[in-house]
Structure formats: structure tokens, C-alpha cells
Structure 1
């Protein structure tokens, strides 16, 4: 009954967006500055709708509500109930994003939210000498940071790192961060849209108003002891295929898999698996179903799917819950 599920992307217009999702993945985008493509979402402000197979036209929320652990997996239901726990996006930072921070679960729940927001970034494409903001410079205390805000010198406190395609970063809740211009990113995150802006380059919104900042809340949640050293991962080989464990956290795990000819695996009933195709074309097949895939496709493999194979020469990201 279950099969690899494809969804219609939900596009978001933002002042820092561009047309790079269209260029890189050869998609037809709506007009305007598109900064985000919500690839897999169970949030009402960007709900995923199935575009293939017998569930075509149905909302992800409805499928989860009806089939519960058959979609999510036993372990996921034990941790999160019948709530889809991830939000997966492609982000086009044609211009720089605001300097921001996200709350952890405890703070978010006190605000009436279901959870906080830890996330990871995978660099799909980037201009030469592209940079990100990843935490604060060493030695920046809360007092020094407050002083920098008052004196409009926040930029002096920020830790910038150079990035290139294939790099990745894990951004736990409480980490000051920003995507700077010229970067295309795959973002895997907790299902949250709560952001506290710290600095936004004095930009105005589409109505001409200064974009709102959230300094007090940001100061509540910033982790001033965050270790901003970049992480790395060594590839392990299964036959001709290489697998890198990029992130292993309490919220999600993400692997990079480079496939040569064929990759075989299985969902074991404990968790769903999301698959995002970064490079290459091929197909994902299971008993009774097969789906062609191209770069930019994101699919959901239900927990009860069982054995599946991915054929072709591809680079993919898989995300799941332990």
C-alpha cells in the first residue's frame, strides 16, 4: 500500500531570496524573490501535498493522522506522538539573512509552541569565498554582546566561516547564526518556525517598515558557551557506495550517501526516512512501486515501506529519527 511519497514544494517569497532554486534545479517558480522551498512540511503555513500515487492530492497531516505509526514509525510516535517532527527546506540566500537565534524546546514550550528549533545546513552550491555566521567569536560574553548591540557593533562579535559545496553545519538551538549571500542550502530542522532576529542590516519589509527585532528573547536563549568549531565526517563504504554520517542528534540524524549504480536498504518500522536528491538522476523502487528522481526531489519513505532500492549515480541526503 505504501510507496515513496513525493510532494509539491511550497515556495516562500522573502526580501533576501532570488531565482537560484529555479536555475540550479530547473524548476518553474512563481514570480518574485523566492528564498525558500518547503520540501517536506507538516505545518499549516506550508503544508505538503502528495503529488504521486494513490495518495495524490492529500495533505501530509491527513496521512499522518490516518496512518500514524505506519507513516511515522514506532520510535517517532513514542517521542513525538502523531506529530511529524521535521521541516525540510531548500534555501536560496541570494542576499544575506538576518542574524538570528532559535529557542530550545523548554523555552519554546513556555511560549506555547510544540518545540524549539535545532537545524542543520548542507551547502548545495555557493559562490566563491562564500561565508556563513556560525556562533559568536571566542570570548564574547552576554555583557559584551549587549554592549555591542547598544553601540551598533554586533558585526564585530560574529564568527564567520568560509563554506563550499558539500560542507555541512549543525546549528543547535541557542546558536547565533546567519546565511550570507550567494549560498544555496538544504536545511533539515525541527518542525518549528520560531526565529528571534538580532540584527537585520536596517532593512525594511515590503511595506516600508523596519523589520522587527527580538533582542530580549534572543538574549534569553543564546548559548554564549557554544563551540563554533566546524565538524567533519569520514566516509565509510558499502561496496561502491559511500556513506557519511553528517549529524546525529536527539532530534534527527542526516547522512550523505553517494550511490554508484545501486543502493539497497529498508525501513524497519521504527522511523520514516526522508530522501533529498542533491545530484544525479535515477529511481527509487520498492515492492509494487517505482519513482523517477532528479536533483532537488525530496521524498518521504514511510516507516512501514520495507525494502527499497535507489538506482543510478546520485548524491542524496537521508534524514530520520533515532
Structure 2
């Protein structure tokens, strides 16, 4: 079947068209190539994508002012950089797969794209991760995400959401909400919500650029105004709002809250720390590598390269790798060529890509994401 255009074009990003929302699909006039092993030399390469933008009410313009992106008018809250979610799938912007959505590419490449560690995700015909940028010009709602067990039972087969944030920019005095005050129970949280005093039971944490925040499923949280983050998460769009600051949406009505579901999934009791202490992996003058997050669903590392230095890796079939340059400029080189990653741009390296290097034309900071060997079994 020929591919379908899923999005309305509204802007340009690194010379590419950018999409913001889904509309009724129309048929492409040109037939799309079909992958087979004979095409490996052309079809296996680092994939870059056209982002999908979200204009939620809490967004701003910092993706343009800080990172030079050409945006449509209005508040842009999220840029979905690599997504295979039905609510907004990104399409490849170059090479063999240009114009094809990530779910289409996954359907043809399968394990060659995501690797053996993603068999649990392949069993559900979905890409395992979702990579975003978030610009919090206003406070986000206080919210919580369910785990897989709850989401699969109550959200029509949707997955839960464990996520992490890497803080790209923070205004002076910036904070986030992460967890609840000591001793808060489901009953006391319900009472605080009913009395309009929920802010008294929320835990606020100051944050700054370069810090990493872990947000396991079940953690009450909210980004607050003045912050831009890179978000790595499970491939899920399930959110239960607990509190939305009394504001109105564009239609003049309050946004929906999901208090009962939230109370069922919140992890009460001892609250985990918000800020993650990086775990050193390699530290020398020219290459600093540290682990920022490790859970059942993904591992995130920060790799800082001095000018002219390089990281050497191999995609051996076990897992995909996602590389995103968040400061400076990096270049990914593999047997078939190279792709430039200015800040902020991501590339998805297929699991069978083979050997590759990431180097810096000037000092660069990158996020490296891959799937752990102990990924969910089902």
C-alpha cells in the first residue's frame, strides 16, 4: 500500500518542512520502496526526522529564540523529535526512507531497526521510545503517568510512561514539582484537592541547566515556567492531570482532570530524589561520559567531546542508539557516509548499523540513548 501524508505543513526546520497536527490522510502519488536485505547499503543509515509540533497553552517561543528553529505563530509547547506514536508520528527527512513515517519504517525493518532488546516492543508493533523537546513558558499541569500494567488494563492497550528530563535551559529561580511532601497519603491528597490547597502537599525542587531528572511512572510532577528540557520517555501519551492551576483552555473551559485515575496510580510513600547524580563512565580532558538514567526502558548517557575528539561505538544488533546534540555540533560517521547534528538535532542509528563514530567540530555535548538488556520481557 502506498504511504500516506499524515500532517499539515506549517514551517521549516533545518531546511525541512515541519508538521504540527494530524489531518485526514491523502495518498502519495509515488510508490514507496520496499526493504529487503539486498537494499541494506541504502536503507540502513542514521535516520533524521521532521519534528511534530504541539501548541499546548503552556508553550512559548524558546525553540526559536534559543535554538534558531523556524516556528509557526503562537505558543509551541512540544517538539516531538523521534516519534512512532499514533498521536504524532515523525517522518524521515532524507535518504531511502525519506517521507516514510517511523511506524512504516519499523514495520519493514523490525528488529534490524530496534534490536533484540526491543522484542517486547516489537510484539506490540510499536517503536519503544518517544523523544521530545519541551518549552515551559507557563507552568504545566500537576500530573502523573501510569505504569504499563495499569495503562494496558485501562487505556485501550496504551503503555505506561516512565520518562527523564535533561534540562537545556532554566531561567533564574526555576523550579519543578517532583513528588509529594512527606507523609502525604491518597486520603490527604484528596482532601487537599477538595480544599484547594494541593500546592501545600507538593514537593518543589530548584533546577538548572545540565541537570537530569528521573520521573518514574507513578511520580507526581510538573515542569514549571522558565524551563526547556529534552525528554526521553516510553512511547506513550497517557497523562492524568491532578491540578491545572485554575486556568482555562482556548475554548474558555477548564482542561479535564483525572483525579480518580491519578489516585490509583500515584506512588505514595517514600519519594525518590528529583535530580539524578551523573554516574561517571569515562572522564578525561577531551571526552567525558556519564550515565544520567537507567531503567527497564532506556539508558541515557551524556557525552561531552572536545574539538577533534570522537566517540567510537558499534550497533551490533542488540539495540538501536539515538544520538542528540544538545550543545555545539557533532557529526555521526558510519561506513556509508556522515550526518551533521547541530544543536538541537537527533539521529536514530539502526541496531544493525555497525561501527560508527561521533566527533565534534567544536566542543559538543550529546545525549546517547539505547535500550538495556533487561528490557521488559512482555
Q: TM-score range by the shorter chain?
A: over 0.9
Who is 1:320 aligned against?
Answer: 370
Which one of the candidate residues 79, 85, 90 is aligned to 1:48? 90
Shift of 1:275: 1.0
Is residue 2:318 matched to residue 1:300?
no
**1:56-75 aligned within 5 A:** 56-75=98-117
Residues 197-226 of structure 1 show CA distances to partners (whole Å, capped at 9, x for unaligned) of 010011111111111111111111111124
Residue 293 of structure 2 aligns with which residue? 247
Structure 2 Cα separation of the partners of residues 176 and 75 of structure 1: 29
* Cα offset, 1:88, TM superposition: 0.6
Instruction: Check conservation: 1:136, 1:228, Cα contact below 8 A.
Output: no
Which residue, 64, 80, 88 being the options, matches 2:131? 88
Three-state SS of the structure 2 residue aligned to 1:213 is coil
In structure 2, which of residues 276, 282, 305 is the aligned counterpart of residue 237 of structure 1? Answer: 282
The alpha carbon displacement at 1:144 in A equals 1.2
TM-score of the two chains, using structure 1 as the length reference: 0.97
Structure 1 residue ranges (4+ consecutive) displaced by more than 4 angstroms after TM superposition: none
Per the normalisation by structure 2, the TM-score is: 0.83
Deviates more, 1:92-101 or 1:227-236: 227-236
The answer to whether the 8 Å contact 1:175/1:226 transfers is no
The structure 2 residue matched to 1:291, chosen from 339, 345, 353, is 339
State how far apart, in whole Å, the 1-side matches of 2:270 and 2:58 are: 27
- 2:320·2:348 contact (CA, 8 Å) conserved in 1? yes
Deviations 1:258-294 (A, max 9, x none): 1122111111211101111110113111001111110
Change (3 A) 1:226 1:65: farther
Kept in 1: contact 2:113–2:350 (CA 8 A) = yes
Give the match for residue 11 of structure 2.
Answer: none
Is contact 1:18-1:92 (8 Å) kept? Answer: yes
User: Aligned to 1:272, which of 284, 307, 320?
Assistant: 320
Q: Deviations over 1:109-146 (max 9, x none)?
A: 01123310110011000001100000001111122111
User: Per the alignment, in what secondary structure is the counterpart of residue 313 of structure 2?
Assistant: strand
The structural deviation recorded for 1:238 is 5.9
| Residue pairs, 1:27-46, within 5 angstroms | 27-46=69-88
| Greater relative contact order (CA < 8 Å, ≥ 6 in sequence) | 1
Correspondence list, 1:216-227, <5 A: 216-227=260-271
Structure 2 gaps of 5+ residues are 1-40, 373-378
State the partner residue of 2:29.
none
**Partners of 2:129 and 2:49 in 1: CA distance:** 15
1:178-257 equivalences under 5 Å are 178-229=222-273, 230-237=275-282, 240-257=286-303
| CA distance, structure 1, for counterparts of residue 281 and residue 152 of structure 2 | 38
Q: CA RMSD in A?
A: 1.2
Match of 2:376 in 1: none
Distance 2:116 2:186 in 1: 41
Number of residues paired by the alignment?
A: 322
Provide the C-alpha distance between the structure 1 equivalents of 2:262 and 2:166, rounded to a whole number of angstroms: 24
Q: Contact between 1:135 and 1:226, CA under 8 Å: does it hold in 2?
A: no
User: 1-side partners of 2:316 and 2:246: how far apart?
Assistant: 50
Alignment of 1:21-170 (within 5 A): 21-78=63-120, 80-81=122-123, 82-111=125-154, 112-170=156-214
